[in-house]
């Protein structure tokens, strides 16, 4: 008589695992930057400056884009093709608008004399917001592919397409939440330390 080992199948798709591993890595990078920010802030010679309002407005735009992308996904799963496509396109435009506003915010900082290679406070702000913007650009690239698929491929819901879109939505929600944490941290830290 032979004893069979129980067979366990993972319900966690390998692509989801890869995404979550990447998100953990990105989180660790930003935790490192926040830690360095706190240490350098406490060391002194820190020029306080007001964050341009464009950064707060862009935060609202990013939150709205996360909401519209989530609704697009729900529409896709519900096989509401028209809403799915429209909301996906809206999300893409809002993501691009976020990066544009961030860019104009950096121009405003530079016009105020807050430069990348100046005081560490400005350097950290450019570094943190710039690295985040790079990750947003990665999300925009993924949304471009999703938009191309939405408008060029015949519409149907399959497990593969649902997974692919779910990965895009999960990544976008992550960079949204990450930005909210970063902007709140940068705004509040001056009142704590």
Summarize pLDDT for 68-97 with one digit per residue, the tens.
Answer: 999 999 999 999 999 999 999 999 999 999
Cα diameter, the chain = 81
CA dihedral 52, 57, 61, 66 (to 10 degrees): 80
- 3-state SS string over the chain? CCCCCCCCCCCCCHHHHHHHHHHHHHHHHHHHHHHHHHHHHHCCCCCCCCCCHHHHHHHHHHHHHHHHHHHHHHHHHCCCHHHHHHHHHHHHHHHHHHHHHHHHHHHHHHHCCCCCCCCHHHHHHHHHHHHHHHHHHHHHHHHHHHHHHHHHCCCCCCHHHHHHHHHHHHHHHHHHHHHHHHHHHHHHHHHHC
| CATH fold group of domain 49-192 | 1.20.120
Q: Is 40 a residue whose pLDDT tops 80? A: yes
CA distance 187 to 51: 8
Contact, 164 vs 36, CB < 8 A?
no
Closest CA to 149 of 167, 161, 163, 137: 161
Question: Per-domain residue ranges for the chain?
Answer: 49-192
Residue 61, pLDDT score: 98
pLDDT mean across residues, the chain: 93
- Residues 98-123: what's their mean pLDDT? 94
pLDDT category of residue 191 using cuts at 50, 70 and 90: confident
Residue 2, pLDDT score: 58
Contact, 169 vs 69, CB < 8 A?
yes
CA distance 138 to 168: 10
Q: What percent of the chain has pLDDT over 70?
A: 94
Least confident residue range of 8-12, 20-24, 27-31, 167-171: 8-12
pTM of the model: 0.91
pLDDT category of residue 9 using cuts at 50, 70 and 90: low
CA dihedral 171, 172, 178, 184 (to 10 degrees): -170
CA distance 137 to 98: 10
CA distance 111 to 105: 10
């Amino acid at each position: 008589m032979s004893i069979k080992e129980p067979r366990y199948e993972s319900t966690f798709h390998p692509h989801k695992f890869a995404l979550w591993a990447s998100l953990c890595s990105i989180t660790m990078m930003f935790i490192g930057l926040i830690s360095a920010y706190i240490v350098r802030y406490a060391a002194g010679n820190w020029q306080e400056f007001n964050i341009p309002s464009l950064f707060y407005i862009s935060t609202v735009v990013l939150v709205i884009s996360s909401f519209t992308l989530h609704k697009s996904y729900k529409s896709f799963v519900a096989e509401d093709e028209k809403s799915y496509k429209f909301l996906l396109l809206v999300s893409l435009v809002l993501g691009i608008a976020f990066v544009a506003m961030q860019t104009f915010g950096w121009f405003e900082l530079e016009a105020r004399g807050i430069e990348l290679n100046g005081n560490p406070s400005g350097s950290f702000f450019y570094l943190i917001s710039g690295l985040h913007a790079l990750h947003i650009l990665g999300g925009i690239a993924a949304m471009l592919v999703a938009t191309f698929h939405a408008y060029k491929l015949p519409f149907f819901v399959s497990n593969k397409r649902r997974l692919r879109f779910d990965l895009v939505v999960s990544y976008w929600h992550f960079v949204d939440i990450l930005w909210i944490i970063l902007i709140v941290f940068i705004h509040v830290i001056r009142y704590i330390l």
